[in-house]
Structure 1
C-alpha cells in the first residue's frame, strides 16, 4: 500500500478553509445565496436553442442540425407500418399499429420533446433510441466517458449486454458525442428501461422500454437536449431539467427541516465495528479456568445448541481448553463470540441459573420478560450475566468502552471534528447505548444499518433485518414475478418485500428500537436508492416500479422527519430529495461476478469474508486487495471518469464509496483515490475498530483537519466547472464557485501552467489564492 502524508504550504497555515468561513452572518448568507443563484443562472445557458430536427417515422431515425452540422442521433431501425401521421412546423406524431405505440415529437425552446405512449393493456416493449457514436457519456456511478472502441469497456459490455437503467445509471439520462455537439436523452425516470449493448465491431447502445399493462401511466417522456461536447454542459443541462421537474432539493433546504444534516458537512465516513459488549480487555483470563464448570457456562452451551446457527461444538471445545489451561487466542475469541451472541437471546433468562439477580435485573424481570423492549432485554441479560460472573469482569458500565466510546473520544481530541459513524446493526447500539451517546455527545452522527429489502420465514437472530413480528408479511407482502414465482431475497434467502405494504412495520421497528431514548441521529437504509426495484404481479397488490420507489421514499422521509440524517446504498437520483448522503456513487461494488474476487480464497484478488473471528472488522472490509488490470478502466481509472453526479448534486447529496471499497481497500491506489476524493468532493471512508484506529489514526486525523474545512467550503457552491488539462487526461481540475478549485495530477510528471506547479501524483487545493498540497509518497 502507498503511504501518504499531507503537506501544507506556508500560505495555507492560515488556511482560508477555516472556521471563520463557516460562522456566517445573515448578510453573508444572503450574499452566498446570490452567488449560488448566479451559478444556477449560468446553468440555464448550456442547452442550445438554435437547432432543428428531422425524423423518418418508418425507421424512427432522428437527425439534429445545429450550426449547419447534421448528425443522425438515433439510428434507423427496421421499417414499421405507420398510421395517423400528422405534421406541422415544430411537431410531428404518428402511430405504430402493430406495436400499439403512439409517437409524438415537438420542438420546444431548448429541447426536442419525445413522447412514447403505449395503446395496449398488456405488457409490451419498445426500442428507441438506437445509438452509434464515437463516444458515450453515461451516468454509471459518478460518471463515465466511454470511447466506442476501448477494449476494457468492450469486454465489460460484452458481459453486461442488458443493463437495468434504474440500477446501472445514477441519473436519468445518457449522452452521445457527435462531431460538433453532444445530444443528451433525458427521461423523467429510468424505471422499466434497459440499456442493451452490442460490441461488434464497436460499442453501440439501444434503449429498451417496458410498458406494464396494469400501469396507468402509459407514456414515456424524453427530452433531447443539444449542447457543446462538454461534460459540464451535459450535466448542468440535466440539472436544470431536474430543477424544472421539481426534483431537486439542496442540503440547505433539507437542513431547514432537519438541522442535524449540518453535521454531515465536512464529516469523514466511518463504519465502526464493535460487535462485543464484553471484549478481551474485560475478562480476567487467569480466573476463567477455575470457573468453566459453573452452571452459567453450561447454560450458554445449551442456548447455542438450541438457537445458534453454528451450534455449541467450538464453544464447548474452548471451555475444555480453558479448563486445561490451554485457552489461547482462538479459544478466547470463540468464548467471547459465544457469550456476546447469547446476550442477544430473549431466552437468556433462566431462574435456575440466575437465582440472585441485582436490583436492575429484578426490576426488569418484574416488568415481565415478554414486555421488555429490545434494549431493556439486553440490559437485563448484561445484569444477569454480571451477577454470576463476579469479579471475572469489571463493572457493567466499563464493558466494551475501551473499544468504542474511548476511541470516539480520542478521535475528537485528535482533530476529527466531524464524522458520520455507521454501525453494522442497531443491536450494536442497543447493547452498548453508552457508545452511541458518546458519539452523539462528541458532535458526531451515528446510526445503524437497516434493511427492508428481504424477509425470511424463520430468520435467525443474525438476520434481524429480515425478521418482522407480523407473520402475514411473508405470504402477503412479498413480490411476485409475472410468471407467478416469488422474487428471492438477498443471497437467495427468503423473499423480497413490497415496500408499499410494510410502512406500519417500518414504524413498528423504529419505535421499538428507539423507545428507550437511544440517541441515534442518523439512519442508513440498505438498497433503497440502489435502483433494485420491482413490478409486483401479485393479484391482490399489483404494484408498479413507480409505486415501489414511492414506498421507499416514504420511509426515507419518515426517518428524516424523526430528526435522523438519512443515507442509502447507491445514491441513484430518484431519491436525491429524500437522502442527505449515499454510499456507492464514487466507488460502486466491483465485479460481483468474478470468482477470483468472491469465491477463490487463494486468489490475491479475493476480497475477504463476512466473518470476523475477533469481533472486529470482517476481512471483506479490512483486507487490502489489488483489482485486476482490466477492471481499472471501468472502476478507478481517472481517464474514463467524469464528475457528472457532482456537477448536478454537489449541493444536494454527499456521496462516498460503497462500504466494500473504502478509502484504504484497493492496494496501490490509496493515494490516487485520496486525490480524487478532493477533486470530486468525496468524503474519505474507512472501516474502523480500535485496532484499525490505532493503525490509521495519524493519517485519519491529519487528513480530517484538511478535509473538514475543505468540504464545508465546497458545499457552499455548485461544482461549477470540470476541465481536463492534458491530452492524456491525467491532469484534471474542478471548481466550486470562483474561489475554490482542485487540480489533481494523476501522472508521474510535473504539471506547470499559469504560474502553478503541481507535482506528479499530487493534488493542489487553491482557496482564495492560498494553496494546500495533498501529496502521496511511494
Structure 2
C-alpha cells in the first residue's frame, strides 16, 4: 500500500504543478475535461468555471469563504482527467466533480446532519436573464427592478414547490448574438433544498442553493448537473426533458392513454368547475310570490299537514324572509337564496318524509315505492329524489318538475353544454355531494363524452366535529390522534390555514382506499381530482408510526394517485405538477397561472379595488365567478407576456395537460383575459372556467368561440412535444411556438400589426400554420 500511496501523492503534486502553470486563476486549481467540456475548480473556495466547445468560459458557481481546509484530494489528470474528489473536514462533506461530454456533475455527500451551500450561481456579466420554472416559466431580465425585488424579497424557494421543475437557467449574451448561450443547472435531488436570490458584491443577483442533510436520511447526499447550451430561452427546459428521458422517467401522454383509455377524452377538452350542488335552485321556483304565500299558509290552522310540517321546520329568519318577499314589489336574489338555502337543508334530511301525509296519491309509482321503504336505508340519491318529489307535491303549480331541478351539477347543465356543441369537456365539482345526490348528472356527462369527477383531498385532518371543517378533512378520532405529520422537534405540523394538522400520506392510505371505494359506486366517475398532491410540498415526518423523508412522502402520494387511477380506470388530476408526479397524472391545475398574492390583504379586503370576492353564494362564489382588476405588480409578474416562457410545456406538453389554478381561471383577471386567451392558444393548454347554468348562458358565445378554435387543434397538439419557442420581435411581443413537426403558432400580444414575409397578423391575434399542408387559421382575442 505504501508505494501506491506515494505514487498517488506524486501524481497529485505533478497535476497540481501542471495546473498552476497553465491556470488562469490563482494556484491550486483543478482542471477537469472531456472531449468537448472543461471545468476549472478551486477546491478550497468552490469557485467553478465551465466551458463547452467554442463557447466562452463562465463562472457557474461563485467563490465561497469559510469552507475550511481541503483534505483527501484525489485527481489523476493522465488516467482520469474528468473526475476529482476531496473532503472539507470542517463541513463534514465530500465533493466529487465529474465532467462527461457536455456536462459537469457535482455530487455532495455528508457524514452527519447539517446544511451545505452549493452552487452559488452568479448573474453578473455575461448573464442577461434568469430562466426560472416558477409556475409555467418566467424570463426575468438581469437588472429588472420588479423581478429582482420579487426574487430577493420572496424568501427562500422550495425547489419542489416553488420551482415546478428542478432547474435554474441563465441566458448569457455574447458580442455576436449567434454566439450567445445558456446555462442550465439541474438539481438531481430536488428534496430538502432552498434556493435564495441574494445580492452579490457587484450588486447583481446570485442564486444560492442550500441543501439540508436531515437525520432521517441514512445516506445524506445531493447533486447538481451543469450544462452550457445554445441561446434558446427554453434550452434549460429542453435539457431537463432530455435528462428525464435518459433516466427513463418521462412518460408520454399516448402511453398514458394506452394504460387509461378514458384519458383519450382529455385532449381538446376545456376544463370546467361546476357550481350549484343543491337540489333546489332559485330558478326552480316558478312563482315566488305564490310560493312565499303558500309557505306562510303553513302557519294557519287549516294548513295541509305537509305544508305545516315544512313551515314548522323552517328557521325563524326564513319565515321572516317569506313575509318580506310577499311585501316586496320585486323580491331580490338574497331573499330568495335564504328561502332556497333553508329548504335545501330540509331536503337533506331523512325526516323530510314527515311532509308526506296526504301526498301519496300525487306521487309517481316509483317515488311512492321509495316512500314505503325504510327511508333511513335509502341511498343519498334515492333520498334526494324522494324528498324533491315530496316538496313539489306539497306545492303544486309553484315549482318546476323536480327531475329538472338543480344548477351546475344537474343533468340540465350537461344538456346545455352539449347543446352548445362542446363535445369534449373535463367537469369537476367542489366535492362529491352533488354527484352523490344526482348520479344522473355523471351518467349524462359520460353519455355526452365528457370526463367528470369530484374534488378530493388528503392534505389536512381536522378534529371530528370541529367548527367550519370541510368533508375532505374528516377521517375520525383515531387517525386525528395518530396520523399527523410530526416535525423534527416532536410537534405536529399544522394544517392548511393553521387548522388541524397535515396528514401523513402513509397513515392516510387505508382511508384513501376506503373513501374512494365507497364513493365510486354511488356515481361512477371517470375522473378524480386530488388537491395538493402535485403541488410539491413534501415533508420529513418524524412520527414513529409513519416516518418519512420528503422523497418517500412524494412516493406515497404518487402511489395513491396511481392506485385510484389504475383501480378504477379514471383520469387523474392534481393541484400543480411538481416534476415528481408528472409520470403518474393526466392533468394539473395551477401551472399556467398559480395562486397569486397569497397573504396580500388587498386581495381579501372587501373595500379594496383588488378584492377577489367572497365565497358566497354557494352556487356562484364571487371569488371564482367575478372578474377583477389585478394589482400592477401582479400584472407585471404574472400576466405580462414579455416575461412568460413555456418551460413546463417544453418538458411535459406531450405528457401532462396543465392549465390554470381554479383561483385564477381563464376569465378572472379582467384586463388581462385577452392575454390569457392568447397564451392558452400559443402554449396549447386548455382554458378553465367556473360555471353554473346562468353563468354559462351569459358566457356561452365567448366559450363556444374559443372552444371551436382550440379543441380541434389541441386534439392533435396534445400528443406532440413543444419543439421550439422564439421571440420574433425585439420587444418580445410577438412569439412563436412549434409543436412536433406539424404546427406553428404565432401570437401577437402587441398593439400594432406584425408583418412576416407576405403574412400580416393584427394586434392581439394569433395564427396557426399547419406545416404539412400550409393551411393557416387566425384568431383574435376579445
Q: Give your verdict on TM over 0.5.
A: yes
Question: Counterparts of 2:239 and 2:535 in 1: how far apart (Å)?
Answer: 23
Distance change (3 Å), C-alpha of 1:303 and 1:584: farther
CA RMSD of aligned residues (A): 2.6
Question: Counterparts of 1:591 and 1:99 in 2: how far apart (Å)?
Answer: 38
The Cα offsets for residues 158-177 of structure 1, whole Å up to 9 and x where unpaired, read as 33121111111111111123
Q: Indicate conservation of the 8 Å contact 2:527/2:572, yes or no.
A: yes
Match of 1:535 among 512, 537, 540: 540
| Aligned equivalent of 1:336 | 340
Q: Indicate conservation of the 8 Å contact 2:274/2:691, yes or no.
A: yes
Distance change (3 Å), C-alpha of 1:374 and 1:499: farther
The Cα offsets for residues 370-422 of structure 1, whole Å up to 9 and x where unpaired, read as x5554455455546655655655344322227984233223223221211111
Higher relative contact order (CA 8 A, sep 6+): 1
Shift in Å, 1:549: 0.9
Distance change (3 Å), C-alpha of 1:373 and 1:190: farther
| Aligned equivalent of 2:641 | 638
Q: Indicate conservation of the 8 Å contact 1:452/1:465, yes or no.
A: no
| Aligned equivalent of 1:40 | none
Shift in Å, 1:450: 1.0
| Aligned equivalent of 1:753 | 756
| Aligned equivalent of 1:216 | 218
Shift in Å, 1:481: 1.8
| Aligned equivalent of 2:422 | 416
Distance change (3 Å), C-alpha of 1:467 and 1:590: closer
Match of 1:523 among 513, 524, 528: 528
| Aligned equivalent of 1:26 | none
Q: Indicate conservation of the 8 Å contact 1:415/1:701, yes or no.
A: yes
Q: Indicate conservation of the 8 Å contact 1:357/1:383, yes or no.
A: no
Normalised by the length of structure 2, the TM-score is: 0.86
Distance change (3 Å), C-alpha of 1:608 and 1:287: closer
Distance change (3 Å), C-alpha of 1:181 and 1:702: closer
Distance change (3 Å), C-alpha of 1:551 and 1:298: farther
Deviates more, 1:408-417 or 1:638-647: 408-417
Distance change (3 Å), C-alpha of 1:386 and 1:532: farther
Q: Secondary structure at the match of 2:686?
A: coil
Match of 1:653 among 656, 667, 683: 656
Describe how 1:337-376 pairs up with structure 2 within 5 A: 337-344=341-348, 348-349=350-351, 360=367, 363=370, 366=373, 369=376, 373-376=379-382
Q: Indicate conservation of the 8 Å contact 1:189/1:574, yes or no.
A: no
Q: Indicate conservation of the 8 Å contact 1:417/1:708, yes or no.
A: no
Q: Indicate conservation of the 8 Å contact 1:154/1:202, yes or no.
A: no
Q: Indicate conservation of the 8 Å contact 2:409/2:429, yes or no.
A: no
Residue 192 in structure 1 maps to residue 192 in structure 2: yes
Q: Indicate conservation of the 8 Å contact 2:457/2:473, yes or no.
A: no
Q: Secondary structure at the match of 1:92?
A: strand
Q: Secondary structure at the match of 2:412?
A: helix
Question: Counterparts of 1:553 and 1:373 in 2: how far apart (Å)?
Answer: 32
The Cα offsets for residues 635-683 of structure 1, whole Å up to 9 and x where unpaired, read as 1111111111111111101111111111111122121211111111111
Question: Counterparts of 2:490 and 2:310 in 1: how far apart (Å)?
Answer: 44
Distance change (3 Å), C-alpha of 1:673 and 1:566: same
| Aligned equivalent of 2:121 | 131
Describe how 1:560-599 pairs up with structure 2 within 5 A: 560-561=565-566, 562-598=568-604
Highest CA radius of gyration, 1 or 2? 2
The Cα offsets for residues 306-358 of structure 1, whole Å up to 9 and x where unpaired, read as xxxxxx5643432453576786432210111122234345xx42675555796
| Aligned equivalent of 1:70 | 57
Distance change (3 Å), C-alpha of 1:650 and 1:280: same
Describe how 1:286-685 pairs up with structure 2 within 5 A: 286-292=290-296, 293=298, 312=315, 314-321=317-324, 328-344=332-348, 348-349=350-351, 360=367, 363=370, 366=373, 369=376, 373-379=379-385, 381-382=387-388, 385=391, 392-400=398-406, 404-459=410-465, 463-516=469-522, 518-561=523-566, 562-598=568-604, 600-612=605-617, 615-685=618-688
Shift in Å, 1:522: 0.9
Distance change (3 Å), C-alpha of 1:461 and 1:485: closer
Normalised by the length of structure 1, the TM-score is: 0.86
Residue 83 in structure 1 maps to residue 71 in structure 2: yes
Structure 1: gaps of 5 or more residues: 1-47, 305-311
Deviates more, 1:315-324 or 1:101-110: 315-324
| Aligned equivalent of 2:87 | 95
Residue 142 in structure 1 maps to residue 136 in structure 2: yes
Question: Counterparts of 1:402 and 1:172 in 2: how far apart (Å)?
Answer: 39
Q: Indicate conservation of the 8 Å contact 2:359/2:393, yes or no.
A: yes
Match of 1:155 among 146, 149, 153: 149
Q: Indicate conservation of the 8 Å contact 2:459/2:502, yes or no.
A: yes
Question: Counterparts of 1:218 and 1:165 in 2: how far apart (Å)?
Answer: 17
Distance change (3 Å), C-alpha of 1:383 and 1:213: farther
Question: Counterparts of 1:422 and 1:106 in 2: how far apart (Å)?
Answer: 48
Describe how 1:690-709 pairs up with structure 2 within 5 A: 690-709=693-712
Q: Indicate conservation of the 8 Å contact 2:738/2:745, yes or no.
A: yes
| Aligned equivalent of 2:40 | 54
Q: Secondary structure at the match of 2:562?
A: helix
Shift in Å, 1:449: 1.1
